[in-house]
Structure 1
């Protein structure tokens, strides 16, 4: 998979995640955030399990079984996913879907900053203005003049920190193990089991409530977790973390589009401006590095031709 294909796959991930905000919000009418998160991530783990088993057998056949350190990395990703998903889900109970979409996008500028601070990665210069532009676009899309910071907003904003670290590390560790499906399935299982354990201690767990929330759980479990999060792990083996964060921030844009399509919501002029700004930033971060690569390639060809003469 090349860089362009990886970015297109990440765009599809953002589309699925954007559509899932409505389902996540509706699911809260029947079950608590911990129970909802636990069940949907276990559903996602079951979706990926057959591919993970095949990958496990392939690694053993090739003499490259996973070691203890790999298991610790998967556990770490699962813990980050648990923190991000639960904090976001708790916050959605007390804030609007629009505000939640904007505040989740706070992880976009955090990824290049944390990449620089923790790993010493220097992102392409286009990532910095693009990250800030995406954040500003999401702010306009949310209806900036109406944004009020409440308890739910603080929960969702806090979830941006574990999500940023997760985006930063998931591609790095999945590539090192050469096992994207095992990584995906393992982190889903960790997140699901921890969330269910917490739900058993802190929330009422009723079969009737789960039946009432079956469709939101199924949609977010199969598509948002099983398909989209797995695709993220696969794509980020071939994409820069800062670029991936910016492309994934388009989930805010897609959330607004699905709100208009399914719920009859209409974008304000500021919202349309925010959509345009985010699209421009996503294109910026994808196209500018390609321009530099093409220029370098052309320079090498010209140098080679001149030396041959």
Structure 2
């Protein structure tokens, strides 16, 4: 890529990486499921009035929204509320690349290349190291919830891939329609009407700024730039840049929240990122064909 687009790719990675710290900062007084519902209500309105509906059946749009948005972010916010640090959350979510490859192999009969198999093995080893090296600082439930978010994202990738739906801004906006009301209803059941009413009545300026950042910058602006880069350059030139996002998340959480990762988290995280890079690398002789297929998305 040229210098301008390389800087844009780095900007998107920075926006998406810092997004995890912003979520953690804004969620202090808002139940997690309610916070996700508010975020995606802000994604939908008024964008759904301005962005055309993607060329896909409603059931596909809804399925992508359920897995890529509702499931992924519902589990992510619950994980962070349960004690998952922002930097580690950004890292563990990259397991979605591993899940995508494994699920596509079973559901779509897409036989993984030797490089992808190697990447899955290395990435899985990294996750095991992270899980074993939590040091009691991260509750097991939070780690499992974050992995469920990555799994949901991987399923959404495969649904979109099977239906040949381009992962553009229109799909992001329209699939978000299925998120706010179900999560609001679930928050009313889990947290109770009084907790929801109290959170809405006392919605702080921190929560409002966090919502504007996550919905406006991370979802709409970030995807607008990212999809523009994918339209101009091969996915193999664009997607690896986004692996900077967990680095930004961990560095900003360390600097601003004093959340210092331990040696196992750093080592396991490095293994996971290496596995993802290997899995995303096109095989010789098949690179051109692979570039025509949508690559697994990394972070939002």
Give your verdict on TM over 0.5.
Answer: yes
CA contact (8 A) 1:105 1:135 kept: no
SS of equivalent to 1:121: coil
Aligned to 2:75: 87
Residue 225 (structure 1) aligns with: 219
Which runs of structure 2 are paired with 1:1-309 in the superposition (5 Å)?
15-46=14-45, 48-49=47-48, 52-53=51-52, 66=55, 70-80=57-67, 81-97=69-85, 98-137=87-126, 144-146=133-135, 149-173=139-163, 175-176=164-165, 180-201=168-189, 202=192, 203-205=195-197, 206-228=200-222, 239=235, 251-274=245-268, 276-278=270-272, 280-289=274-283, 291-292=284-285
Q: Which has the larger radius of gyration?
A: 1
- Distance in 2, matches of 1:160 and 1:196, equals 22
Alpha-carbon distance in structure 2 between the residues aligned to 1:134 and 1:26: 29
Report the Cα offset of residue 190 of structure 1. Answer: 1.9
Shift, 1:39, TM fit = 1.2
CA contact (8 A) 1:111 1:165 kept: yes
Gap change, CA 1:88 and 1:45, over 3 Å in 2? same
- Alpha-carbon spacing, 1:158–1:13, altered in 2? closer, same or farther (3 Å): same
Give the Cα–Cα distance (whole angstroms) in 2 for the partners of residues 275 and 111 of structure 1: 18
Report the count of equivalent residues. 275
Is the 1:48–1:185 Cα contact (8 Å) retained in structure 2?
yes
CA 295–115 in structure 1, closer or farther in 2 if over 3 Å, else same? closer
8 A contact 1:99–1:142 mirrored in 2: no
Unaligned ranges ≥5, structure 1 = 57-64, 297-309
Larger relative helix fraction: 1
Distance in 1 (alpha carbons) for counterparts of 2:258 and 2:228: 34
Q: CA RMSD in A?
A: 4.1
Q: Distance in 2 between matches of 1:106 and 1:286?
A: 12
- In structure 2, relative to structure 1, the CA distance for the partners of 1:166 and 1:260 (3 Å cut) is same
Change beyond 3 A, Cα 1:281–1:153:
closer
TM normalised by structure 1 equals 0.70
Shift of the alpha carbon at 1:131? 3.1
Query: Could you tell me whether the CA contact under 8 Å between 1:138 and 1:275 is conserved in 2?
Result: yes
Write out per-residue CA displacement over residues 84-116 of structure 1, whole angstroms, 9 at most, x where no aligned residue.
Answer: 211221121112315534543443321111001
Q: Is the 8 A contact 2:100 2:157 kept in 1?
A: yes
The normalised TM-score by structure 2 is 0.71
Question: Residue 40 of structure 2: SS of its match in structure 1?
Answer: helix
Residue 204 of structure 1 aligns to a residue in which SS? Answer: helix
Q: Secondary structure at the match of 1:116?
A: helix
Q: Which runs of 5+ in 2 are unaligned?
A: 290-300
- What is the match of residue 303 of structure 1? none
Distance 1:134 1:119 in 2: 21
CA deviations over 1:219-241 (Å, ceiling 9, x no partner) = 1111222234566677789759x
Q: CA–CA distance in 2 between the matches of 1:12 and 1:137? A: 26
